[in-house]
Amino acid sequence: MSKLQERHQERRQERPQERPIGLSHSGLRQGIVRTCREMNAKRLNQGTSGNLSCRIDGGMLITPSGIAYDRMAAQDVVEMSIDGRCHRDRTPSSEWRFHRDILAARPDVNVVLHSHSIYATSLAIHQRPIPAVHYMVAVGGGVDIRCAPYACFGTQRLSDHVLAALQGRMACLLAHHGLIVLATSLEQAMWRLIEVETLAEMYVHALAIGEPPRLTEADMNEVFEQVKALNYGSGNGSATTAPPRNAEPPQGRIAERVAPGSADLAGIAK
């Protein structure tokens, strides 16, 4: 087994069932802390970089600014209204704008997870999207994983770029910055982060040999048909066939296919 395969085996976990969060605020806070620590422990992030938010009634819970994850407690997680007002004296992550804007624009999403994982960020530094070099690129919700243009962290301009890159998608890179994944639960967010980072690592290694060939539109259509036919990853006997509600207008046959990992919002945390 190669080192790449060993690292992926260490990180990889069974794809979780797609479901609403369905936890109390206390449970969500604990889950946010646990997920952030897991992200760093699996070398998918480091230090105080990255951030995580979860939808709640009227707003979101989001990681605080400047607190190392191994010192972060559940009470440190910040509650914010959709208008950007904080309900505690903690300072929210400097990236709260794109968290707020994504959750406002995407009713199919409960969780926004941002990391500075090594391989995805390496591609983002080169402003390279992840093309269809492997069929699992479909975990990002489409035929590629886009790279949003650069803008300074914490700005509305960055948030605007992010929203455009995530239109009809569940993941994107941020130029010279990092990676964002969307999900319906904390578990699914970690699963998607692992898969996208692994795809990025494969792509970086493949580029060492040369620009790799890409799967065709017909190839990706077949992937999406298999997802639908096999109920791939649904975990509950029903296919995950619903694309994001605000997906781009169909443009050709490929746009008619499912976005694996996207699911309609069936509820929010209380």
Residue from 18, 79, 95, 201 carrying the catalytic annotation: 95
Give the strand pairing for 59-62 and 51-56: antiparallel
Q: Which residues pair with 61 in a beta bridge?
A: 54, 79
Angle at 200 between CA 227 and CA 192, to 5 degrees: 45
Measure the CA–CA gap between 146 and 140, rounded to whole angstroms: 9
| Interior angle at CA 222, CA 218 and CA 224, nearest 5 | 115
Which of 107, 104, 108 has the alpha carbon at shortest distance from 160? 104
Q: In what order do the strands lie in the sheet with 78-81?
A: 78-81, 59-62, 51-56, 111-115, 178-183, 171-174, 147-148
Q: Are strands 171-174 and 78-81 parallel, antiparallel or unpaired?
A: unpaired
Pairing state between β 178-183 and 51-56: unpaired
For the chain, give the number of residues.
270
Distance CA 100, CA 177 (A): 19
Would you call 95 a catalytic residue per the annotation? yes
- The encoded tokens of residue 121 equal 């960020």
Residues 6+ apart with CB under 8 A from 104: 82
* Residues classed as catalytic: 95
